[in-house]
């Protein structure tokens, strides 16, 4: 007998708030499938408040409430039976986060869970990568967000180590990342990957997805280090306004894509990865998968 259910994931990030609704199909004697039914992204950029002023402003709190009320309506319309709302780096660092979680619960009836960097890395690692990861190979999985970057090393089909770094696009735009932060990032990658002479990178996040789409590469084909370096040079040669006009970028993408590309390139350089694979997965997909696995 065929079983169909709908789960939703709310990802409250430092750059944007996302709602992913996924249809989970469980056919008899066949693998379970996860299909993205709806994906909505609202660029609230909480990190702009928190990383500079330590608090989420009343203005962005109001925008969050409006967004989450809309998400609640969408989940009701889709007849979502289970959801999980996870807040990451900006909400972790905000001094008024606990008060806001209670306030949002009263206004929207949505429970927000503030997860730490290790939880975030573990949830991202739960994403379905079996079609991409080959058991005989080694990979460095890099997920770049507005407030943090999560890295997981895979080898022989298993997770070797994961770590979260306070190295994110919104932090970098506001000059809140020190040379010591960069040095820790570079050294950790170098030390954690030195035992793997051949390693490939997997990149996730909205910025690397945008770059992959711009490359016109076929699905499943990786981007080379040379291509990413060339694209980085192109980005730096254009102004913010030119990136919007010439590269068809959204306003909230045209600035963060530059530091994001720098992070990906740094990870490739210090892991000695020559290629980066870009599956369309991220924290929201991991939330859906972890919820499903928790029920089975």
What digits encode the pLDDT tens for the residues 201-231?
999 999 999 999 999 999 889 999 999 999 9
What digits encode the pLDDT tens for the residues 148-163?
999 999 898 788 998 9
Q: Walk me through the domains of the chain, giving residue ranges and CATH numbers.
A: 3-117+284-294 (3.30.420.40), 132-280 (3.30.420.150)
Mean pLDDT of 252-266: 97
Write a three-state SS string for 24-39. Answer: EEECCCCCCEEEEEEE
Helix ranges restricted to H, the chain: 46-53, 58-77, 89-93, 97-108, 117-125, 169-173, 179-193, 206-215, 225-237, 240-246, 251-254, 257-271, 283-294
In the prediction, which pLDDT does 131 show? 62
Residue with tokens 């999980």: 84
Stretch among 167-176, 262-271, 287-296 having the lowest mean pLDDT? 287-296
pLDDT band at 62 (very low <50, low <70, confident <90, very high): very high
Please tell me the number of Cα atoms within 13 Å of 194 on its side-chain side.
5
* Residues sharing a CB contact under 8 Å with residue 108, sequence separation 6 or more, in sequence order: 65, 68, 69, 72
* pTM over the 0.85 mark: yes
Helix ranges restricted to H, 9-150: 46-53, 58-77, 89-93, 97-108, 117-125
pLDDT band at 121 (very low <50, low <70, confident <90, very high): confident
Mean pLDDT of 10-22: 96
In the prediction, which pLDDT does 176 show? 95
In the prediction, which pLDDT does 133 show? 67
In the prediction, which pLDDT does 296 show? 47
From 155, 229, 167, select the one nearest 193 (Cα to Cα): 155
Is 50 exceeded by the pLDDT of residue 79? Answer: yes
């Amino acid at each position: 007998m065929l079983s169909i259910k709908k789960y939703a994931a709310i990802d409250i990030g430092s750059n944007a708030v996302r709602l992913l609704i996924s249809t989970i199909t469980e056919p008899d004697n066949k693998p379970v499938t996860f299909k993205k039914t709806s994906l909505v992204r609202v660029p609230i950029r909480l990190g702009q408040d928190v990383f500079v002023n330590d608090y989420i402003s009343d203005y962005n709190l109001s925008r969050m409430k409006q967004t989450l009320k809309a998400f609640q309506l969408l989940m009701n319309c889709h007849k979502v039976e289970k959801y999980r709302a996870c807040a990451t780096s900006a909400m972790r660092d905000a001094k008024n986060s606990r008060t806001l979680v209670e306030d949002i619960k009263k206004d929207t009836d949505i429970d927000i869970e503030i997860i730490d960097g290790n939880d975030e890395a573990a949830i991202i690692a739960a994403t379905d990568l079996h079609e991409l990861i080959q058991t005989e190979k080694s990979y460095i999985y890099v997920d770049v967000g507005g407030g943090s970057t999560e890295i997981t090393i895979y080898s022989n089909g298993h997770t070797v180590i994961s770590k979260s770094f306070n190295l994110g696009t919104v932090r970098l735009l506001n000059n809140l990342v020190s040379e010591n932060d960069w040095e820790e990032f570079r050294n950790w990658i170098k030390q954690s990957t030195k035992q793997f002479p051949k390693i490939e990178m997997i990149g996730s996040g909205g910025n690397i997805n945008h770059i992959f789409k711009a490359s016109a590469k076929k699905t499943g084909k990786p981007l080379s280090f040379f291509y990413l370096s060339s694209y980085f040079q192109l980005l730096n040669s254009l102004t913010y306004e030119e990136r919007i006009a010439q590269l068809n970028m959204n306003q909230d993408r045209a600035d963060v894509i530059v530091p994001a590309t720098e992070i990906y390139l740094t990870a490739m350089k210090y892991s000695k990865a020559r290629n980066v694979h870009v599956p369309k997965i991220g924290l929201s997909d991991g939330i859906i998968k972890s919820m499903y696995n928790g029920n089975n």
